[in-house]
Structure 1
Protein backbone atom coordinates (compact mmCIF):
# COMPACT_ATOMS: atom_id res chain seq x y z
CA UNK A 1 0.00 0.00 0.00
CA UNK A 2 1.34 3.43 -0.99
CA UNK A 3 1.69 6.15 1.64
CA UNK A 4 -0.62 8.41 -0.41
CA UNK A 5 -3.35 7.02 -2.67
CA UNK A 6 -5.51 9.42 -4.67
CA UNK A 7 -8.44 7.88 -6.54
CA UNK A 8 -10.83 9.47 -9.05
CA UNK A 9 -10.46 12.90 -7.46
CA UNK A 10 -12.91 15.54 -8.71
CA UNK A 11 -12.42 19.04 -7.29
CA UNK A 12 -13.78 22.39 -8.37
CA UNK A 13 -14.48 25.94 -7.32
CA UNK A 14 -18.23 26.58 -7.02
CA UNK A 15 -19.65 24.85 -10.10
CA UNK A 16 -16.44 24.93 -12.14
CA UNK A 17 -14.51 21.62 -12.10
CA UNK A 18 -10.71 21.78 -12.04
CA UNK A 19 -9.70 18.15 -11.45
CA UNK A 20 -11.42 15.51 -13.56
CA UNK A 21 -11.00 12.12 -11.89
CA UNK A 22 -7.30 12.27 -10.96
CA UNK A 23 -5.69 9.08 -9.63
CA UNK A 24 -2.09 8.48 -8.52
CA UNK A 25 0.08 6.97 -5.77
CA UNK A 26 3.08 8.27 -3.88
CA UNK A 27 5.14 5.52 -2.29
CA UNK A 28 6.66 5.90 1.14
CA UNK A 29 10.22 7.20 1.01
CA UNK A 30 10.16 8.62 -2.50
CA UNK A 31 10.21 12.07 -4.05
CA UNK A 32 7.39 12.58 -6.53
CA UNK A 33 7.22 15.62 -8.82
CA UNK A 34 3.87 16.81 -10.17
CA UNK A 35 4.63 18.83 -13.31
CA UNK A 36 2.44 20.99 -15.50
CA UNK A 37 1.89 24.43 -16.93
CA UNK A 38 -0.15 27.20 -15.29
CA UNK A 39 -3.79 26.22 -14.84
CA UNK A 40 -3.15 22.48 -15.08
CA UNK A 41 -4.60 21.78 -11.62
CA UNK A 42 -1.38 21.08 -9.71
CA UNK A 43 -1.98 23.46 -6.82
CA UNK A 44 -5.59 22.33 -6.55
CA UNK A 45 -4.32 18.77 -6.18
CA UNK A 46 -1.91 19.41 -3.32
CA UNK A 47 -4.18 21.85 -1.48
CA UNK A 48 -6.91 19.21 -1.56
CA UNK A 49 -4.50 16.65 -0.12
CA UNK A 50 -3.60 19.23 2.56
CA UNK A 51 -7.28 19.67 3.49
CA UNK A 52 -7.68 23.23 2.21
CA UNK A 53 -10.21 22.16 -0.43
CA UNK A 54 -12.86 19.45 -0.20
CA UNK A 55 -13.33 17.07 -3.15
CA UNK A 56 -16.66 16.75 -4.87
CA UNK A 57 -15.98 13.05 -5.31
CA UNK A 58 -13.17 10.53 -5.16
CA UNK A 59 -10.96 9.56 -2.24
CA UNK A 60 -7.62 10.31 -0.61
CA UNK A 61 -6.01 7.61 1.52
CA UNK A 62 -2.98 8.49 3.63
CA UNK A 63 -0.97 6.01 5.66
CA UNK A 64 -3.71 3.42 5.30
CA UNK A 65 -6.59 5.68 6.37
CA UNK A 66 -9.08 7.39 4.10
CA UNK A 67 -9.09 11.13 4.67
CA UNK A 68 -12.59 12.47 4.90
CA UNK A 69 -13.63 16.00 5.77
CA UNK A 70 -11.10 17.58 8.10
CA UNK A 71 -9.33 20.85 8.66
CA UNK A 72 -5.80 21.59 7.41
CA UNK A 73 -4.61 21.60 11.05
CA UNK A 74 -5.93 18.06 11.46
CA UNK A 75 -4.00 17.01 8.36
CA UNK A 76 -0.85 18.56 9.82
CA UNK A 77 -1.36 16.72 13.10
CA UNK A 78 -1.85 13.52 11.08
CA UNK A 79 1.47 13.89 9.26
CA UNK A 80 0.83 16.02 6.14
CA UNK A 81 2.51 19.41 5.84
CA UNK A 82 2.35 21.97 3.01
CA UNK A 83 4.90 24.55 1.92
CA UNK A 84 2.46 26.70 -0.08
CA UNK A 85 2.84 28.54 -3.35
CA UNK A 86 3.89 32.11 -2.64
CA UNK A 87 5.52 31.04 0.68
CA UNK A 88 2.92 32.85 2.85
CA UNK A 89 5.33 33.71 5.63
CA UNK A 90 4.66 36.11 8.48
CA UNK A 91 6.86 38.99 7.29
CA UNK A 92 6.90 40.90 10.60
CA UNK A 93 7.97 37.87 12.59
CA UNK A 94 11.53 36.62 12.79
CA UNK A 95 12.87 33.52 11.08
CA UNK A 96 12.85 31.69 14.41
CA UNK A 97 9.25 32.72 15.18
CA UNK A 98 8.06 31.57 11.75
CA UNK A 99 9.70 28.20 12.29
CA UNK A 100 8.16 27.77 15.73
CA UNK A 101 4.70 28.48 14.30
CA UNK A 102 5.27 25.56 11.92
CA UNK A 103 5.57 23.31 14.98
CA UNK A 104 2.27 24.51 16.52
CA UNK A 105 0.74 21.03 16.40
CA UNK A 106 3.72 19.77 18.45
CA UNK A 107 4.19 22.84 20.65
CA UNK A 108 3.99 20.79 23.87
CA UNK A 109 6.68 18.38 22.67
CA UNK A 110 9.88 20.27 23.46
CA UNK A 111 12.14 17.43 22.31
CA UNK A 112 10.55 17.29 18.86
CA UNK A 113 10.61 21.08 18.61
CA UNK A 114 14.36 21.17 19.33
CA UNK A 115 15.07 18.22 17.04
CA UNK A 116 13.19 19.75 14.11
CA UNK A 117 14.70 23.18 14.67
CA UNK A 118 18.20 21.68 14.62
CA UNK A 119 17.31 19.67 11.51
CA UNK A 120 16.04 22.74 9.63
CA UNK A 121 19.16 24.68 10.58
CA UNK A 122 21.24 21.82 9.23
CA UNK A 123 19.26 21.73 5.97
CA UNK A 124 19.41 25.52 5.57
CA UNK A 125 22.45 27.00 7.37
CA UNK A 126 21.50 30.44 6.08
CA UNK A 127 18.36 30.37 8.22
CA UNK A 128 20.49 29.72 11.29
CA UNK A 129 22.53 32.80 10.43
CA UNK A 130 19.36 34.89 10.14
CA UNK A 131 17.20 33.44 12.91
CA UNK A 132 16.56 36.86 14.49
CA UNK A 133 15.96 38.63 11.17
CA UNK A 134 12.42 39.55 10.10
CA UNK A 135 11.13 37.16 7.45
CA UNK A 136 10.00 40.05 5.25
CA UNK A 137 13.58 41.28 4.87
CA UNK A 138 14.95 37.98 3.53
CA UNK A 139 15.81 37.42 -0.12
CA UNK A 140 13.41 35.39 -2.26
CA UNK A 141 15.59 32.30 -1.98
CA UNK A 142 15.88 32.63 1.78
CA UNK A 143 12.12 33.04 2.09
CA UNK A 144 11.60 29.83 0.13
CA UNK A 145 14.04 28.03 2.40
CA UNK A 146 12.08 29.34 5.38
CA UNK A 147 8.76 28.18 3.88
CA UNK A 148 10.10 24.65 3.41
CA UNK A 149 11.75 24.71 6.83
CA UNK A 150 8.53 25.85 8.50
CA UNK A 151 6.64 22.97 6.88
CA UNK A 152 9.25 20.54 8.22
CA UNK A 153 8.80 21.75 11.79
CA UNK A 154 5.71 19.58 12.33
CA UNK A 155 7.79 16.47 11.57
CA UNK A 156 5.61 15.37 8.64
CA UNK A 157 5.45 11.95 7.06
CA UNK A 158 4.48 13.63 3.77
CA UNK A 159 5.87 17.03 2.77
CA UNK A 160 4.01 18.89 0.03
CA UNK A 161 6.01 21.66 -1.68
CA UNK A 162 4.14 23.91 -4.09
CA UNK A 163 6.27 25.74 -6.71
CA UNK A 164 9.53 25.95 -4.75
CA UNK A 165 11.49 27.25 -7.75
CA UNK A 166 9.05 30.01 -8.73
CA UNK A 167 10.91 33.31 -9.06
CA UNK A 168 14.27 31.85 -8.01
CA UNK A 169 17.52 31.77 -9.92
CA UNK A 170 18.53 28.33 -11.29
CA UNK A 171 21.29 28.08 -8.66
CA UNK A 172 19.00 28.79 -5.71
CA UNK A 173 16.27 26.52 -7.11
CA UNK A 174 18.78 23.70 -7.38
CA UNK A 175 19.83 24.29 -3.76
CA UNK A 176 16.22 23.86 -2.62
CA UNK A 177 15.80 20.71 -4.72
CA UNK A 178 19.02 19.27 -3.30
CA UNK A 179 17.65 19.78 0.20
CA UNK A 180 14.49 17.89 -0.76
CA UNK A 181 16.74 14.95 -1.61
CA UNK A 182 18.21 15.13 1.89
CA UNK A 183 14.74 15.38 3.40
CA UNK A 184 13.73 12.25 1.50
CA UNK A 185 16.90 10.45 2.55
CA UNK A 186 16.05 11.25 6.19
CA UNK A 187 12.71 9.45 5.84
CA UNK A 188 10.14 12.08 4.82
CA UNK A 189 8.17 11.39 1.64
CA UNK A 190 8.05 14.42 -0.68
CA UNK A 191 5.49 15.52 -3.27
CA UNK A 192 6.65 18.60 -5.19
CA UNK A 193 4.55 20.71 -7.55
CA UNK A 194 6.65 22.29 -10.29
CA UNK A 195 6.48 23.97 -13.68
CA UNK A 196 10.26 23.66 -13.95
CA UNK A 197 11.42 20.36 -15.44
CA UNK A 198 14.78 20.97 -13.77
CA UNK A 199 13.30 19.19 -10.74
CA UNK A 200 13.19 15.86 -12.60
CA UNK A 201 16.74 14.71 -11.72
CA UNK A 202 15.72 14.80 -8.06
CA UNK A 203 12.54 12.72 -8.55
CA UNK A 204 11.82 9.02 -8.17
CA UNK A 205 8.41 9.46 -9.78
CA UNK A 206 6.97 12.07 -12.14
CA UNK A 207 3.35 12.95 -12.81
CA UNK A 208 2.43 15.36 -15.60
CA UNK A 209 -0.89 17.15 -15.53
CA UNK A 210 -2.78 18.94 -18.28
CA UNK A 211 -6.17 20.62 -17.83
CA UNK A 212 -7.05 18.74 -14.67
CA UNK A 213 -6.05 15.27 -15.82
CA UNK A 214 -2.86 13.23 -15.58
CA UNK A 215 -1.32 12.58 -18.99
CA UNK A 216 1.90 10.85 -17.91
CA UNK A 217 3.22 8.81 -14.99
CA UNK A 218 6.79 7.54 -14.93
CA UNK A 219 9.28 6.16 -12.41
CA UNK A 220 13.00 5.54 -12.06
CA UNK A 221 15.27 5.49 -15.09
CA UNK A 222 12.36 6.23 -17.40
CA UNK A 223 12.46 9.84 -16.19
CA UNK A 224 15.99 10.17 -17.52
CA UNK A 225 15.37 8.56 -20.91
CA UNK A 226 12.11 10.25 -21.97
CA UNK A 227 12.25 13.91 -23.01
CA UNK A 228 9.34 15.01 -20.84
CA UNK A 229 10.17 18.69 -21.23
CA UNK A 230 9.56 18.74 -24.97
CA UNK A 231 6.83 16.12 -25.03
CA UNK A 232 4.55 17.69 -22.45
CA UNK A 233 5.82 21.00 -21.11
CA UNK A 234 7.23 22.89 -24.10
CA UNK A 235 10.82 23.89 -24.66
CA UNK A 236 10.61 26.81 -22.23
CA UNK A 237 9.80 24.71 -19.15
Structure 2
Protein backbone atom coordinates (compact mmCIF):
# COMPACT_ATOMS: atom_id res chain seq x y z
CA UNK A 1 0.00 0.00 0.00
CA UNK A 2 1.38 3.40 -0.97
CA UNK A 3 1.99 5.86 1.82
CA UNK A 4 -0.39 8.80 1.80
CA UNK A 5 1.30 12.01 0.68
CA UNK A 6 0.21 15.18 2.42
CA UNK A 7 0.64 18.39 0.45
CA UNK A 8 2.91 21.03 1.91
CA UNK A 9 0.99 23.82 3.67
CA UNK A 10 0.61 27.09 1.78
CA UNK A 11 3.53 29.43 2.40
CA UNK A 12 3.19 32.33 4.77
CA UNK A 13 2.56 35.67 3.15
CA UNK A 14 5.38 37.22 5.19
CA UNK A 15 7.91 35.21 7.17
CA UNK A 16 11.23 35.63 8.95
CA UNK A 17 13.82 32.96 9.62
CA UNK A 18 16.65 33.40 12.09
CA UNK A 19 16.23 37.16 11.79
CA UNK A 20 18.72 39.37 13.61
CA UNK A 21 18.06 43.13 13.89
CA UNK A 22 19.54 45.71 16.20
CA UNK A 23 20.56 49.32 16.72
CA UNK A 24 24.04 50.58 17.53
CA UNK A 25 25.40 47.09 18.07
CA UNK A 26 22.59 46.16 20.49
CA UNK A 27 20.37 43.33 19.22
CA UNK A 28 16.60 43.82 19.42
CA UNK A 29 15.57 40.65 17.57
CA UNK A 30 17.84 37.61 17.55
CA UNK A 31 17.22 34.34 15.66
CA UNK A 32 13.62 35.49 15.28
CA UNK A 33 11.14 33.26 13.44
CA UNK A 34 7.75 34.71 12.55
CA UNK A 35 4.86 33.96 10.14
CA UNK A 36 1.94 36.05 8.91
CA UNK A 37 -0.53 33.81 7.09
CA UNK A 38 -2.56 34.84 4.03
CA UNK A 39 -5.93 36.33 4.90
CA UNK A 40 -5.48 36.54 8.68
CA UNK A 41 -5.59 39.45 11.11
CA UNK A 42 -2.64 38.95 13.44
CA UNK A 43 -2.26 41.14 16.52
CA UNK A 44 1.27 41.58 17.84
CA UNK A 45 1.35 42.69 21.49
CA UNK A 46 3.93 43.12 24.23
CA UNK A 47 5.50 45.72 26.50
CA UNK A 48 7.32 48.79 25.20
CA UNK A 49 10.71 47.81 23.83
CA UNK A 50 9.69 44.21 23.10
CA UNK A 51 10.66 44.62 19.42
CA UNK A 52 7.19 44.79 17.86
CA UNK A 53 7.68 47.95 15.82
CA UNK A 54 11.21 46.90 14.92
CA UNK A 55 9.84 43.70 13.41
CA UNK A 56 7.19 45.54 11.42
CA UNK A 57 9.68 48.12 10.11
CA UNK A 58 12.08 45.34 9.14
CA UNK A 59 9.34 43.51 7.25
CA UNK A 60 8.71 46.71 5.26
CA UNK A 61 12.37 47.51 4.69
CA UNK A 62 12.60 50.59 6.91
CA UNK A 63 15.13 48.91 9.21
CA UNK A 64 17.91 46.78 7.76
CA UNK A 65 18.32 43.22 8.93
CA UNK A 66 21.78 42.10 10.03
CA UNK A 67 21.29 38.37 9.55
CA UNK A 68 18.57 35.92 8.62
CA UNK A 69 15.87 35.98 5.98
CA UNK A 70 12.66 37.82 5.17
CA UNK A 71 10.41 35.79 2.88
CA UNK A 72 7.44 36.92 0.78
CA UNK A 73 5.10 34.17 -0.44
CA UNK A 74 7.69 31.61 0.62
CA UNK A 75 10.51 33.21 -1.41
CA UNK A 76 13.51 34.85 0.32
CA UNK A 77 13.97 38.53 -0.50
CA UNK A 78 17.54 39.43 -1.36
CA UNK A 79 16.66 43.10 -0.82
CA UNK A 80 13.87 44.28 1.45
CA UNK A 81 12.79 47.81 0.58
CA UNK A 82 9.48 49.69 0.64
CA UNK A 83 8.93 50.19 -3.10
CA UNK A 84 9.42 46.50 -3.80
CA UNK A 85 7.09 45.53 -0.96
CA UNK A 86 4.46 48.03 -2.11
CA UNK A 87 4.62 46.67 -5.66
CA UNK A 88 4.13 43.17 -4.24
CA UNK A 89 0.97 44.22 -2.42
CA UNK A 90 2.27 45.10 1.06
CA UNK A 91 1.38 48.51 2.52
CA UNK A 92 2.21 50.29 5.77
CA UNK A 93 0.28 52.55 8.14
CA UNK A 94 3.22 54.02 10.10
CA UNK A 95 3.38 54.86 13.77
CA UNK A 96 2.59 58.51 14.34
CA UNK A 97 0.44 58.66 11.14
CA UNK A 98 3.21 60.10 8.96
CA UNK A 99 1.09 62.79 7.30
CA UNK A 100 2.56 66.10 6.13
CA UNK A 101 0.73 68.85 8.06
CA UNK A 102 1.08 71.43 5.27
CA UNK A 103 -0.55 69.25 2.61
CA UNK A 104 -4.27 68.95 2.08
CA UNK A 105 -5.85 65.51 2.17
CA UNK A 106 -6.31 65.75 -1.61
CA UNK A 107 -2.61 66.50 -2.08
CA UNK A 108 -1.68 63.66 0.26
CA UNK A 109 -3.77 61.22 -1.74
CA UNK A 110 -2.37 62.50 -5.04
CA UNK A 111 1.14 61.92 -3.76
CA UNK A 112 0.09 58.50 -2.44
CA UNK A 113 -1.29 57.44 -5.82
CA UNK A 114 1.99 58.39 -7.47
CA UNK A 115 4.04 56.56 -4.82
CA UNK A 116 1.85 53.45 -5.19
CA UNK A 117 2.52 53.41 -8.94
CA UNK A 118 -1.15 53.68 -9.90
CA UNK A 119 -1.50 54.48 -13.60
CA UNK A 120 -2.88 57.95 -14.24
CA UNK A 121 -5.97 56.64 -16.00
CA UNK A 122 -6.84 54.49 -12.99
CA UNK A 123 -6.27 57.04 -10.24
CA UNK A 124 -9.79 58.44 -9.94
CA UNK A 125 -11.31 54.96 -9.74
CA UNK A 126 -8.80 53.97 -7.10
CA UNK A 127 -9.50 57.10 -5.10
CA UNK A 128 -13.25 56.49 -5.35
CA UNK A 129 -12.70 52.96 -4.05
CA UNK A 130 -10.79 54.22 -1.00
CA UNK A 131 -13.55 56.74 -0.36
CA UNK A 132 -16.08 53.90 -0.45
CA UNK A 133 -14.12 52.16 2.31
CA UNK A 134 -13.59 55.36 4.34
CA UNK A 135 -16.42 57.70 3.26
CA UNK A 136 -15.72 60.20 6.07
CA UNK A 137 -12.59 61.30 4.17
CA UNK A 138 -14.83 63.34 1.87
CA UNK A 139 -15.85 65.58 4.77
CA UNK A 140 -12.35 67.05 5.13
CA UNK A 141 -10.82 66.29 1.75
CA UNK A 142 -9.84 69.90 1.05
CA UNK A 143 -8.35 70.62 4.49
CA UNK A 144 -4.69 70.61 5.42
CA UNK A 145 -3.66 67.60 7.47
CA UNK A 146 -2.25 69.80 10.24
CA UNK A 147 -5.74 71.15 10.98
CA UNK A 148 -7.29 67.69 11.41
CA UNK A 149 -7.98 65.79 14.62
CA UNK A 150 -5.90 62.75 15.52
CA UNK A 151 -8.61 60.40 14.34
CA UNK A 152 -8.98 62.23 11.04
CA UNK A 153 -5.22 62.16 10.48
CA UNK A 154 -5.18 58.43 11.17
CA UNK A 155 -7.98 57.95 8.63
CA UNK A 156 -5.87 59.82 6.06
CA UNK A 157 -2.90 57.58 6.85
CA UNK A 158 -5.01 54.44 6.44
CA UNK A 159 -6.59 55.75 3.25
CA UNK A 160 -3.17 56.51 1.76
CA UNK A 161 -2.01 52.97 2.59
CA UNK A 162 -5.09 51.50 0.88
CA UNK A 163 -4.43 53.32 -2.41
CA UNK A 164 -2.35 50.39 -3.67
CA UNK A 165 -5.23 47.97 -2.90
CA UNK A 166 -2.84 45.91 -0.76
CA UNK A 167 -3.21 42.22 -0.04
CA UNK A 168 -1.29 42.79 3.20
CA UNK A 169 -1.62 45.80 5.52
CA UNK A 170 0.94 46.49 8.25
CA UNK A 171 -0.38 48.80 10.98
CA UNK A 172 1.98 50.24 13.60
CA UNK A 173 0.24 51.47 16.77
CA UNK A 174 -2.80 53.02 15.02
CA UNK A 175 -4.58 53.75 18.32
CA UNK A 176 -2.01 56.26 19.64
CA UNK A 177 -3.83 59.35 20.88
CA UNK A 178 -7.29 57.98 20.06
CA UNK A 179 -10.20 57.17 22.36
CA UNK A 180 -11.19 53.47 22.31
CA UNK A 181 -14.48 54.10 20.48
CA UNK A 182 -12.78 56.19 17.81
CA UNK A 183 -10.16 53.47 17.40
CA UNK A 184 -12.89 50.88 16.86
CA UNK A 185 -14.71 53.19 14.42
CA UNK A 186 -11.50 53.30 12.37
CA UNK A 187 -10.80 49.58 12.54
CA UNK A 188 -14.28 48.27 11.75
CA UNK A 189 -14.32 49.28 8.06
CA UNK A 190 -10.81 47.84 7.68
CA UNK A 191 -11.96 44.57 9.25
CA UNK A 192 -14.96 44.53 6.91
CA UNK A 193 -12.66 45.12 3.93
CA UNK A 194 -10.40 42.33 5.13
CA UNK A 195 -13.33 39.91 5.29
CA UNK A 196 -14.49 40.87 1.81
CA UNK A 197 -11.08 40.72 0.10
CA UNK A 198 -9.02 38.29 2.17
CA UNK A 199 -6.41 40.95 2.89
CA UNK A 200 -3.94 40.00 5.64
CA UNK A 201 -3.34 42.48 8.47
CA UNK A 202 -0.46 42.64 10.91
CA UNK A 203 -1.51 44.92 13.76
CA UNK A 204 1.09 46.14 16.25
CA UNK A 205 -0.91 47.57 19.10
CA UNK A 206 -0.79 48.61 22.76
CA UNK A 207 -4.56 48.95 23.08
CA UNK A 208 -4.86 45.20 23.51
CA UNK A 209 -8.53 44.91 24.43
CA UNK A 210 -9.68 46.81 21.36
CA UNK A 211 -7.22 45.10 19.01
CA UNK A 212 -8.27 41.61 20.11
CA UNK A 213 -11.84 42.35 19.00
CA UNK A 214 -10.84 42.25 15.34
CA UNK A 215 -7.97 39.72 15.46
CA UNK A 216 -7.84 36.07 14.38
CA UNK A 217 -4.57 35.25 16.15
CA UNK A 218 -2.31 36.87 18.75
CA UNK A 219 1.47 36.78 19.11
CA UNK A 220 2.94 38.01 22.39
CA UNK A 221 6.50 39.36 22.42
CA UNK A 222 8.86 40.07 25.30
CA UNK A 223 12.47 41.24 25.09
CA UNK A 224 12.73 40.49 21.39
CA UNK A 225 11.27 36.99 21.52
CA UNK A 226 7.87 35.38 21.01
CA UNK A 227 6.68 34.05 24.35
CA UNK A 228 3.19 32.96 23.36
CA UNK A 229 0.83 32.46 20.42
CA UNK A 230 -2.88 32.37 21.22
CA UNK A 231 -6.41 32.92 20.02
CA UNK A 232 -8.04 36.19 21.16
CA UNK A 233 -10.50 34.28 23.36
CA UNK A 234 -7.60 32.83 25.35
CA UNK A 235 -6.58 36.35 26.45
CA UNK A 236 -10.01 37.76 27.13
CA UNK A 237 -9.50 38.90 30.71
CA UNK A 238 -7.04 41.23 32.40
CA UNK A 239 -5.55 38.56 34.63
CA UNK A 240 -4.42 36.49 31.66
CA UNK A 241 -2.92 39.54 30.00
CA UNK A 242 -1.11 40.70 33.13
CA UNK A 243 0.64 37.34 33.35
CA UNK A 244 2.27 38.08 29.99
CA UNK A 245 3.49 41.59 30.77
TM (norm. structure 1) is: 0.90
The DSSP-based 3-state class of the residue aligned with 1:106 is coil
Q: 2:186 aligns with which of 173, 176, 187?
A: 176
Shift of 1:160: 0.4
Residue 61 and residue 174 in structure 1: after superposition, are their counterparts in 2 closer, same or farther (change >3 A)?
same
1:135 matched to which residue of 2?
145
Over aligned residues, Cα RMSD in angstroms?
A: 1.9
Corresponding residue for 2:200? 189
Unaligned ranges ≥5, structure 2: 1-10
Determine the C-alpha separation between the residues in 1 that align with 2:218 and 2:238. Answer: 11
Q: Which residue of 199, 203, 222 corresponds with 1:210?
A: 222
How far has the Cα of 1:162 moved from its partner? 0.3
Matches within 5 A, 1:34-183: 34-103=44-113, 104-111=115-122, 113-183=123-193
SS at match of 2:116: helix
The residue number in structure 1 matching 2:243 is 231
Deviation at 1:128, TM superposition (A): 1.3
Match in the other structure for 1:219 = 231
The Cα shift of 1:65 comes to 2.1
- Listed as ranges, the gaps of 5+ residues in structure 1 are none
> Using a 3 Å threshold, how does the CA distance of structure 1 residues 110 and 201 change in structure 2: closer, same or farther?
same
Aligned to 1:7: 17
C-alpha contact 2:18 2:32 (8 A) present in aligned 1: yes
SS at match of 1:82: strand
> Which ranges of 4 or more aligned residues in structure 1 deviate by more than 3 Å?
219-228
The Cα shift of 1:34 comes to 0.6
TM-score after normalising by structure 2: 0.88
CA distance in 2, matches of 1:64, 1:195: 29
Decide which of 18, 23, 26 is 2:33's aligned counterpart.
Answer: 23
**CA displacement at 1:130 relative to structure 2:** 1.1
Q: Secondary structure at the match of 1:81?
A: strand
Deviation at 1:42, TM superposition (A): 0.8
The structural deviation recorded for 1:93 is 1.1
Structure whose alpha-carbon radius of gyration is higher: 2
Aligned residues: 232
